[in-house]
């Protein structure tokens, strides 16, 4: 067993400082350093819990790295299932709590095994054993599962679609502008575009755009009187879905 608990104290300090830093708004460079530490701390303390005090070196690093990836993946899924928004506060709270709980478990485990501090109680161990192989295998499985879940979650994440409407004067001729619509709603969408001059309808276009498709036209343009374009997403004609004007 390690002769002191400075490693666990450091992990606890990182967890507590991460929480404090969020509320006192420390400078960005310090926040980055604490963020990296807070990401790694849960992996280290729980590697200590699972592997025990005699495992060190590459074996400990491999398992700690796998657990560091595993904690935010499964923790994020747990927060999402509980209906907790995945904001920065939730992530800091999750990583801090997991770190502090793991640190407490490590300290309790170390105090219950004082005989391991006596060098005479230690027996020679082979440099490679089935236990080492199992530990490395577990680390590899944990890392692979964490990465796989992260990729699957990212691919399954759905983002709200959007529609872009613009009316932009040409640089080469300020008396001409382009009015256009871009559909990124995720599916084919029907629109009605109404162009108004001085509050009166001057042109109307019915559009049916596939996802990712763009439509545009050139119109005469001036800033001497109001020009506006109202875009409706059919069949809803009660109010414009998007609006743009010449700023008059």
Q: Find where tokens 């932009």 sit.
A: 168
pLDDT in tens, 124-158: 444 545 555 555 565 556 555 555 555 555 555 55
* The two structure tokens encoding residue 163: 């529609």
pLDDT in tens, 196-216: 999 899 999 999 999 989 999
Residue 114 CB contacts under 8 Å (≥ 6 apart), including other chains: none
pLDDT at 53 over 80: no
Contact 35, 15 (CB under 8 A): no
Q: Which domains does the chain have, with CATH numbers?
A: 6-156 (no CATH), 162-245 (2.60.40.10)
Contact 181, 162 (CB under 8 A): no
Average pLDDT, rounded, for the chain: 76
Q: 184: part of which helix (H) or strand (E)?
A: strand 176-184
* Biggest CA pair distance of the chain: 96
Res 84: pLDDT: 77
pLDDT in tens, 54-106: 656 666 777 777 777 778 878 878 877 877 777 777 777 788 888 888 788 87
Residue 14, classed as helix, strand or coil, is helix
pTM: 0.42
């Amino acid at each position: 067993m390690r002769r002191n608990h400075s490693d666990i104290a450091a992990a606890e300090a990182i967890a507590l400082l991460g929480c404090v830093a969020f509320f006192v708004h420390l400078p960005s460079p310090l926040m980055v350093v604490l963020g990296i530490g807070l990401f790694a701390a849960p992996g280290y303390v729980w590697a200590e819990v699972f592997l025990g005090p005699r495992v060190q070196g590459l074996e400990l690093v491999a398992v700690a790295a796998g657990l560091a990836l595993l904690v935010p993946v499964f923790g994020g899924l747990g927060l999402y299932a509980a209906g907790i928004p995945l904001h920065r506060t939730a992530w800091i709270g999750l990583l801090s709590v997991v770190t502090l709980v793991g640190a407490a478990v490590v300290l309790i485990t170390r105090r219950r095994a004082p005989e391991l501090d006596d060098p005479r109680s230690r027996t020679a161990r082979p440099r490679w054993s089935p236990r080492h192989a199992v530990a490395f295998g577990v680390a590899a499985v944990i890392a692979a599962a964490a990465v796989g879940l992260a990729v699957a979650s990212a691919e399954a994440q759905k983002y709200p679609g959007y529609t872009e409407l613009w009316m932009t004067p040409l640089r080469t001729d300020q008396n001409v502008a382009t009015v256009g619509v871009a559909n990124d709603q995720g599916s084919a969408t029907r629109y009605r575009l109404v162009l108004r001059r001085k509050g009166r309808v001057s042109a109307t276009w019915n559009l049916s755009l596939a996802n990712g498709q763009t439509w545009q036209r050139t119109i005469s343009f001036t800033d001497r009187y109001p020009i506006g374009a109202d875009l409706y997403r059919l069949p809803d004609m009660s109010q414009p879905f998007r609006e743009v004007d010449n700023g008059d």
